[in-house]
Amino acid sequence: MDINTFIHIFVGSTFGLTLRLLVKYSFKRKTVFYFDNSLTVNVLSSLFLGFFIALNSTNNNLLLLVNIGFLGCLSTFSSFIYQLFNLIHKRKYLNSILFYIEVLVLSFLFFCLGYFVTLIFKH
């Protein structure tokens, strides 16, 4: 890995982590399902990923900065797995299934939304 690659990933990940922490500690709300703002950042990450995939950039530095650095640190797959584990560990099986479906379905739908909206405006 050359220094240019490292710098792009480092800068992107710094902004992704900053936004994730801002969302995690700024917005506290209770919903019907288990919710700890990881759903919000996962949905935002999916939406942004849909945008950038639809733009079909061939700029390797932009891909490193945004897709790997920024979105890699913004999304919280490990938090998602930890929350899922805690629900199962507490024997809240129905909540764990609903949480799993909620995160996957909403993340997929927002990825598609970002992708197709970008394609519409791109043409």
Q: How many CA atoms within 13 Å lie on the side-chain side of 10? A: 7
Q: What pLDDT band is residue 106 in, cutting at 50, 70 and 90?
A: very high
Count: domains in the chain: 1
Return the sign of the alpha-carbon dihedral for residues 75, 77, 78, 84.
positive
pLDDT digits (tens, 9 = 90+) for 41-86: 888 899 999 999 999 888 999 999 999 999 999 987 877 888 889 9
Q: Provide the domain limits for residue 118.
A: 3-122
- Which of 15, 18, 23, 21 shows the shortest CA–CA distance to 40? 23
Q: Among 39-48, 85-94, 112-121, where is mean pLDDT lowest?
A: 39-48
Amino acid 37: pLDDT: 76
